Structure 1
Amino acid sequence: MTTRNDLGSSGSADPTLRRGLGLLEVVVYGVGLILGAGIYAILGEATAVAGTAVPVSFVLAAVVASFTGLSYAELASRFPKGEGDYVYVREATGSKRLAEVVAFLRVFVGAVSAAAVALAFGGYLTAFTQTPVAVVGVGLVVVASAINFWGIETSVRLNVVFTAVEVAGLVVVIWLGGGALGRLPALETPAGVTGVLEATFLVFFAYLGFGSMVTVAEETEDPTRTIPRAIVVAVGITTVLYVLVAVAAVAVVDWRVLGASASPLALVAETGGDPTLGTVVGAVALTSTANTVLILLVSTSRLVYGVSKSEYRSFPAVFSRVHRTRRTPYLSVALVGGVTVPFVLIGDLGAVASVANAALLVVFVVVNAALVKLRYDAPRAHEGFTAPLTVGRFSLTAIAGVVTSFGLLVVYLWNLL
């Protein structure tokens, strides 16, 4: 028997997204999304400006990410919807227009971030073939979009395998660096504190994945509990890995050489081990970055799907259509893949990642502010996760998220001048 909730506006049965993700799957989804967008993709760019202090930049970025991550965890508990940021801002401010601006920025960030990681994939592939980086990146986006269309279960199964491989690659780098810790180089920063802060802005790209975890809420079992827990666990795991790998990298390879490399972790493995090990880690990096492109496209297409629903009517309703056989938002998948390709063709990883970061920090400022307002407007609206460090209704972590996100944005804008 078909219930009212199963009917579309036309009165015929409408397919819906399939709920099949538990805590483990969402944690692995988040870890895979965060890792590939970060240490494999941006370590070289960050080291070039921070020198041997790049581990400090990762710690600072982790602090900023943690404040905002706690806000996302509470908001996801209050509103377990795949539209994520859009819903949070609309519920807090009552402004559909502001929520639409945030949703647009989120889609922009997703597409640009996928492009940046696709370029990192191309950079690692140059160790194996001379195919132009941009061409390789475009090919990866096309293949990942096809997998995204095929189904969430396929995407998540691949993510579990790929994440295990990329964590193993990082463990190898940490192990290689362990033998070199006794000869850690002296603190050397080519641009002083300014360089460390600039690198902090760059490596913040390494944490962008936690904000996208909320977009699979409608494909997650018990999302009110599962999504907040998964965000906290994923940020914790990746922070530990990031800092250890950054320390190992500058212990093994001179920071100038590392900063100039298009495949930094493969270089660390080759220098600390042998060429064969470097090739293996390079192959792992390909797996990691490919996985991240896939998950970024999945999360961004789910956001487009959600905001296009008839209950919001913010994006064209056509993008809320779900394929009857594959049960995926196929037109949203096609849109996100198509928007990503032009950014891949830019070909400059650092520039693309910086643009993604700037837009993301604007979103984070607004989302943290939304939680501050909701704490006063609806203090007892939910019984799920609540961010710690609360004074009355005042969220200290959310305010810290506003201040630190805005501060990193100022660093970026200052460096443009």
Structure 2
Amino acid sequence: MTNHQLKRTLNFPMLTLYGLGTILGAGIYVLVGKVAIHAGIYAPISFLFAALLAGLSGYSYAALSAHLPKSAGEAVYIETAFHFRPLSILVGWMVVLTGIVSAATIANGFVGYLQVFVPITDFWAITLLILAMTGLAYWGVNESVWVTAATTILGIIGLLIILAYSVPAFTTLPERLPDLTPPSSDGNIWFGILLGAFLAFYAFIGFEDMVNMAEEVKQPEITLPKAIIAAIIISSVFYYLIALAAVLQLPQAELIASKAPMADILKQHNEDMAWFVSLISLAAIVNGALVQIIMGARVLYGMGKHQMAPLWLAAIHPVRKTPYIATLLIGLIVWLFASQFHLATLASITSFIIIMVFLLVNIALIKLIYSPASKDKFTAKPWVPITGVLMSLMFLGVQVYQLISGAIVIGH
């Protein structure tokens, strides 16, 4: 109970795959159609804008993690910048809440996919998934990240299959380019692209989870920033190409109506391969639940270690070298949320909380850049977090607009 040191086992490739696993979840297989509701055939441009917006906050996370490589990263960043313990504790619990609700939402999504292959009740599907993922997270971080890496690679293989079958469509790009280029003078079209970008942004959420693995990373000051940026760049390329493949092959009305646009693309080429990609979607969901349980446990561990939560949450298993009490607690709460509560409202609140955290992290970096005590250490370009603050405020405005008008339906 007194040993609070995690085991450093993660290198750059493993951490990058872990980050990709948090970003490239099952959402990529369904989200393109939802973005097309607003952006139409210009959905790929929406993903480019979303990648730019995610990159701004990603830069701030990378800059802060290089100098403050700690579990409970966001809470530590806020504490270092503002020295206001109540705000740091609040941010830590906000991050934990987002992980719990996200994992519970993912667990509910798992039910529908699993029932396609196996007849099982909702309760037992959720219970078995969370038991397995909590047990794996308890067993060891190296084992957990290897599973995450394997399912992430499987997910990437699925995307590469889709892109391979889309090569003939890509060859038509030169003649289709005029149709895919929005007119600069049409404000309504650009507003739709912007709304699509706000929705597509949620496909990039997940890179921030990487900083909470800091105390299990080898040379975190170097590895963490590189892995965060690499994960955002790689996922951005995949999202853009997948969106492009969708708009080139599916009529707009069909794309908007589709619940599984990637499967619909493959059905045009190979029915068996469409079934295989559905199976990959199931693996991606399992991966998402595991990542969120690992992340939530590390935040609780870090908060306990930094006296922002009860000290017993920082307990490390003497053999497995994992924060076992925090892991079991997160698993139990996720199971309660997934099996007992209606999560639609909680998921909406969670997305709002994530943007609030991004806003505070960007402000923290600005504060540290201009602080006399730390300005020599934090040499990041100030315009990046400043732009991140403005974009975060804009996103919060869109969230408020969504709540008032119900005009945007967000799903990840």
TM-score (norm 2): 0.87
Change (3 A) 1:360 1:279: same
Gaps of 5+ in 2: 405-412
- Asked if 1:382 is matched to 2:371, the reply is no
Q: 1:403 corresponds to which residue?
A: 390
| Cα distance in 2 for residues equivalent to 1:119 and 1:268 | 26
- Asked if 1:266 is matched to 2:253, the reply is no
| Cα distance in 1 for residues equivalent to 2:11 and 2:224 | 9
Q: 2:49 corresponds to which residue?
A: 60
Contact 2:296/2:330 (CA < 8 Å) preserved in 1? yes
Superposition pairs of residues 215-226 of structure 1, within 5 angstroms:
215-226=212-223
Change (3 A) 1:203 1:131: farther
Q: 2:98 corresponds to which residue?
A: 109
Correspondent of 2:235 among 216, 235, 238: 238
Q: 2:366 corresponds to which residue?
A: 372
- Aligned pairs, how many? 394
Contact 2:43/2:193 (CA < 8 Å) preserved in 1? yes
Contact 1:15/1:324 (CA < 8 Å) preserved in 2? no
**Structure 1 counterpart of 2:235, one-letter code:** T
**Structure 2 counterpart of 1:295, one-letter code:** V
- Asked if 1:153 is matched to 2:116, the reply is no
Change (3 A) 1:314 1:159: same
**Structure 1 counterpart of 2:78, one-letter code:** V
**Structure 1 counterpart of 2:353, one-letter code:** A
Q: 2:284 corresponds to which residue?
A: 288
Q: 1:278 corresponds to which residue?
A: 274
Q: 2:297 corresponds to which residue?
A: 301
| Cα distance in 1 for residues equivalent to 2:159 and 2:346 | 24
Contact 1:119/1:347 (CA < 8 Å) preserved in 2? no
**Structure 1 counterpart of 2:291, one-letter code:** I
Q: 1:397 Cα shift?
A: 0.3
Q: 1:124 corresponds to which residue?
A: 113
Q: 1:130 Cα shift?
A: 5.8
| Cα distance in 1 for residues equivalent to 2:145 and 2:395 | 32
Change (3 A) 1:41 1:19: farther
Contact 2:4/2:314 (CA < 8 Å) preserved in 1? no
Q: 1:210 corresponds to which residue?
A: 207
- Between stretches 344-353 and 325-334, larger displacement belongs to 344-353
Name the SS for the 2:368 alignment partner: helix
| Cα distance in 2 for residues equivalent to 1:313 and 1:74 | 24
Q: 1:347 Cα shift?
A: 8.7
Change (3 A) 1:359 1:160: same
**Structure 2 counterpart of 1:206, one-letter code:** A
| Cα distance in 2 for residues equivalent to 1:146 and 1:368 | 35
Change (3 A) 1:35 1:173: same
**Structure 1 counterpart of 2:48, one-letter code:** V
Contact 1:197/1:411 (CA < 8 Å) preserved in 2? no
- Could you report, residue by residue, the CA deviation over 1:26-65 in whole angstroms, capped at 9, with x for unpaired residues? 1111112111164136344434444333222211211111
Name the SS for the 1:344 alignment partner: helix
Q: 1:249 corresponds to which residue?
A: 246
Q: 1:407 Cα shift?
A: 0.7
- Could you report, residue by residue, the CA deviation over 1:273-315 in whole angstroms, capped at 9, with x for unpaired residues? 2210100111111112211221121112101111012xx3222
Contact 2:30/2:262 (CA < 8 Å) preserved in 1? no
Q: 1:17 corresponds to which residue?
A: 6
| Cα distance in 1 for residues equivalent to 2:161 and 2:133 | 27
- Between stretches 214-223 and 118-127, larger displacement belongs to 118-127
- Between stretches 101-110 and 212-221, larger displacement belongs to 101-110
- Asked if 1:166 is matched to 2:161, the reply is no
Contact 2:101/2:343 (CA < 8 Å) preserved in 1? no
Q: 1:145 Cα shift?
A: 1.3
RMSD: 2.8
Name the SS for the 1:180 alignment partner: helix
Name the SS for the 2:50 alignment partner: helix
Q: 1:212 Cα shift?
A: 0.7
Q: 1:92 Cα shift?
A: 0.4
| Cα distance in 1 for residues equivalent to 2:127 and 2:49 | 33
Contact 2:355/2:396 (CA < 8 Å) preserved in 1? yes
Contact 2:214/2:224 (CA < 8 Å) preserved in 1? yes
Change (3 A) 1:44 1:300: farther
Contact 2:26/2:282 (CA < 8 Å) preserved in 1? no
- Asked if 1:416 is matched to 2:395, the reply is no
| Cα distance in 1 for residues equivalent to 2:340 and 2:135 | 22
Contact 1:177/1:247 (CA < 8 Å) preserved in 2? no
Name the SS for the 1:179 alignment partner: helix
Q: 2:31 corresponds to which residue?
A: 42
Contact 1:151/1:326 (CA < 8 Å) preserved in 2? yes
Contact 1:81/1:214 (CA < 8 Å) preserved in 2? yes
Name the SS for the 1:207 alignment partner: coil
Q: 2:407 corresponds to which residue?
A: none
Gaps of 5+ in 1: 1-6, 9-13
Correspondent of 1:324 among 307, 318, 321: 318
Name the SS for the 2:308 alignment partner: coil
Contact 1:123/1:262 (CA < 8 Å) preserved in 2? no
Change (3 A) 1:406 1:146: same
Contact 1:34/1:209 (CA < 8 Å) preserved in 2? yes
| Cα distance in 1 for residues equivalent to 2:272 and 2:118 | 16
**Structure 2 counterpart of 1:335, one-letter code:** L
Contact 1:119/1:349 (CA < 8 Å) preserved in 2? no
**Structure 2 counterpart of 1:202, one-letter code:** L
Superposition pairs of residues 88-107 of structure 1, within 5 angstroms:
88-107=77-96
Contact 1:29/1:213 (CA < 8 Å) preserved in 2? yes
Instruction: Give me the identity figure in percent.
Output: 32
- Asked if 1:357 is matched to 2:357, the reply is no
Change (3 A) 1:157 1:200: same
Correspondent of 1:340 among 323, 334, 337: 334
